[in-house]
Amino acid sequence: WHAGRKIKGVPWDIPVVGFGGHTVNILRLWESRASEFFDWDVFNAGGYIDSQAEKAQAETISKVLYPNDETDAGKELRLIQQYFFCACSIKDIMRRYKRVHGSDFRNFAAQIAIQLNDTHPTVAIPELMRVLVDEEDLNWDAAWAICYQVFSYTNHTLLPEALEKWSVSLFEKVLPRHLEIIYEINTRFLNELVEPKWPGNDAIKAKLSIIEEGDVRKVRMGNLCVIGSCKVNGVAEIHSKLVKEDLFPEYAELWPEKMCNVTNGVTPRRWLLACNPELDALYNEVVGKEWPLQFMTIKRHNKEKLVKVIKAETGIDVSAEAIFDVQIKRLHEYKRQQLNLIHIMALYRRLLANPDYDMHPRVFIFGSKAAPGYKLAKDIIYAINKLAERVNNDARIQGKLKVVFMPNYRVSLAEKLIPAADVSEQISTAGYEASGTGNMKMALNGAITIGTLDGANIEIAEEAGAENCAIFGLNVDEVKSLKARGYNPYDLYYANSELKAVLDWFDTDYFTPGRPGELASIKRSLLEGGDPYLTLADFASYSEAHKLIDTWYRDPALWAKKAIINSATMGKFNSDRSIQDYVDRIWKLKSCNVG
């Protein structure tokens, strides 16, 4: 393979100091730069702008992670970007290994473990094979035996779009040698493993092949991950079960020991000690019987601090007396911010019909970003903001309902939102959320989860007790059953008058004066689009769960008990345990005591 152009990979090292540790680990990130910064020949010939084109093109690779891949140019940049980061890392790994072991690769798999975090770095598999075969002159079998032991794959979602597929034509253009290697991996896999297991079964071969045939031939990166890895794990018990039974059942039959689980974790050093110092101090000191009262006082302090942040960031006045109901996560239909949205609209409608409607004041707080090309997600963000404008300025509802969409959601903002949350919204369609970590962070800080039996919600409810969470909606089996029977959202639309009235609001200009139907895409997705994430199917149950939350909050002692139990039982979700699971189940590392 003769490269079409050369890019410099410049390492930037971020020190990572383990809690209570005496060593400093390094997180190495890569910046792309041109191998030649300035073309004097082009400049002197009058091409003053073109003389710096190589520099601009090279720097683009690491400028923005995950560019919009709606266009062909975006897809090509994204594949180049993935290859660049993988190639730099593998070159660095090889450099370090050869510095100690030279060209003897017998210890490589024992010394090196590469964890593929979803399918984005999958190209590292053919890249390592290329380096071992083309540059280090190993034969194929020896190289594959090493490669297979080195890689492990963590699946983070069951959604098809996350299991990347690249067109063969793009791969051939950008990475022709890697495509040859992928073809060879695939041929050997199908002939040596699939054919003996399922002789003559072309349907199984087509399903398990790395290459997807069709009008546009594609490289299935998820299949390559499973075939090229010694271990495959999901990130919560239910998710790992679905990965094994629904996503990759034939692979699990081929390699029963390959599939395993590592439930995600979060570090209490950041998500309690750093972001909630008052609660951390309470846990650290030896206290008497008054500490439950202190617990809720701390929650109140954190809410009062967030009131000021909300005012500064959005100009909206909210009261710390209200229930702070928080949904902070990527905007995606399966996470169902739209379910939260239509429930808020239903509450607003109830208050308009009866200003004395019996509910404790609520502040619904959102923090989210959408993928650049995800139009419906952006429409949902817009709708929440337009709803907020109307609700927050309507004197008729007497301040009982406020809606806040925090701009520029980020970790530093999450550190303010999470300690102040009373209610944690974890409302994905059952079977779609791999794990979630926001659910762990908010429960750790004394928020009560309103959620489906999905991802780590199931394990949170097991640890805290189901009675200390507001569980609602269809479970995984019920979701499958409903879809198998044939789900028609129009049935619910016509059967539930409140739901119909709320959805019909999207066709009017009530929230977008002078622009009727500007929010209609949301209604269309839930009706004409078939409501793929069963938002309407779970609406009634979700509404009832919120009434339960309201009842609990009116009993301060009961609420405090539930909040404290949630916080105190989150030990399982410590990232130390999660990392130790990777060490024990996947990497098989031995501890190294440093004097």
What is the rounded distance in angstroms from the CA atom of residue 421 to the CA atom of residue 363?
A: 10
Residue 12 confidence (pLDDT): 97
The pLDDT confidence band at residue 20, using thresholds 50, 70 and 90, is: confident
Spacing of C-alpha 575 from chain mean position: 16
User: Considering 188, 301, 330, 378, which one is annotated as catalytic?
Assistant: 330
Q: CB neighbours (10 Å) of residue 569?
A: 17
Task: Report residue 167's pLDDT band, with 50, 70 and 90 as the boundaries.
Answer: very high
Phi, psi at 233, each rounded to 5°? -130, 145
- Report whether pLDDT(325) > 70: yes
**Annotated catalytic residue: which of 441, 523, 546, 562?**
441
Question: From start to end of 118-216, where are the E strands?
Answer: 151-154, 165-167, 211-212
HEC sequence for 487-524: CCHHHHHHHCHHHHHHHHHCCCCCCCCCCCCCCHHHHH
Taking a C-beta distance cutoff of 8 angstroms, is the pair 260, 231 a contact? yes
Q: Sorting pLDDT into bands at 50, 70 and 90, what band is 64?
A: confident
What is d(CA 202, CA 28) in angstroms, rounded to the nearest whole number?
44
Note the pLDDT tens digit of each residue in 126-147.
999 999 999 999 999 999 999 9
Q: What letter would DSSP give residue 574? A: B
**Which one of the listed residues 8, 33, 98, 156 is annotated catalytic?**
156
Rounded Cα distance between 74 and 369, Å, is: 19
CB neighbours of 460 closer than 8 A, spacing ≥ 6? Answer: 439, 440, 443, 449, 451, 469, 566, 570, 573
Which amino acid is residue 401, in one-letter code?
A: L
Please check the confidence at residue 21 and state whether its pLDDT lies above 80: no
Residue matched to tokens 């500064």: 312
Verify whether residue 8 is a known catalytic residue: no
- What backbone phi and psi angles, to 5 degrees, belong to 251? -65, -40
Q: What is the mean pLDDT of residues 461-481?
A: 97
Tokens of 498: 């409140």
Q: Rounded to an integer, what distance in angstroms lies between the CA atom of residue 399 and that of residue 394?
A: 8
The answer to whether the CB of 132 falls within 8 A of the CB of 147 is yes
In degrees rounded to 5, what are phi and psi of residue 525? Answer: -65, -30
Question: Could you give the CA distance from residue 159 to residue 246 in angstroms, rounded to a whole number?
Answer: 12
- Contact criterion met (CB below 8 Å) for 223 and 189: no
- Listed in sequence order, the residues at least 6 apart from 11 whose beta carbon sits closer than 8 Å to its beta carbon are 28, 29, 30, 31, 88, 92
Closest by CA position to 239, among listed 172, 174, 157, 295: 157
Q: Which of 130, 218, 258, 329 is catalytic?
A: 329
d(C-alpha 446, C-alpha 282), whole Å: 13
> Three-class SS of residue 475?
coil
Q: Are 152 and 232 in contact (CB under 8 A)?
A: yes
- Is residue 427 within 8 Å of residue 340, measured between CB atoms? yes
Contacts of 473 (CB under 8 A, 6+ apart): 427, 430, 452, 453, 537, 538, 541, 542
Residues forming beta bridges with residue 427, ordered by sequence position: none
> Is 330 part of the annotated catalytic residue set?
yes
Please classify residue 367 by burial: count the beta carbons closer than 10 Å to its beta carbon, then call 0-12 exposed, 13-18 middle and 19+ buried: buried
Quick one: which of 191, 192, 198, 166 has its CA closest to 179?
166
Q: Pick the catalytic residue: 429, 437, 449, 535? A: 437
Give the lowest-confidence range in 56-60, 218-222, 237-241, 475-479.
56-60
Catalytic annotation present for 437: yes
* In the predicted structure, residue 117 carries a pLDDT above the cut 90: yes
pLDDT value of residue 111: 94
SS3 of residue 49 by DSSP: coil
Is 329 part of the annotated catalytic residue set? yes
Collapsed DSSP state (helix, strand, coil) of residue 260: strand
Which residue is catalytic, options 303, 335, 343, 400?
Answer: 335
CA distances from 407 to 176, 381, 388 (A): 43, 11, 13
Q: How far apart are CA 293 and CA 297, in angstroms?
A: 6
Q: For residues 220-226, give the mean pLDDT.
A: 97
Record the tokens describing residue 200, joined without a space: 């003559």
For residue 286, what pLDDT is reported?
56
Q: How confident is the model at residue 49 (pLDDT cuts 50, 70, 90)?
A: low
Take residue 582 and report the two structure tokens written for it.
């990777």
Q: Are 301 and 279 in contact (CB under 8 A)?
A: no
What is the dihedral angle through the alpha carbons of 571, 572, 573, 579, rounded to the nearest 10 degrees?
110
pLDDT at position 292 is 63
pLDDT tens digits, 253-307: 999 999 999 999 999 888 998 999 999 888 877 555 565 668 889 999 999 999 9
Q: Are 272 and 279 in contact (CB under 8 A)?
A: yes
Mean pLDDT, the chain, integer: 94
Residue 164 CB neighbours (<10 A): 22
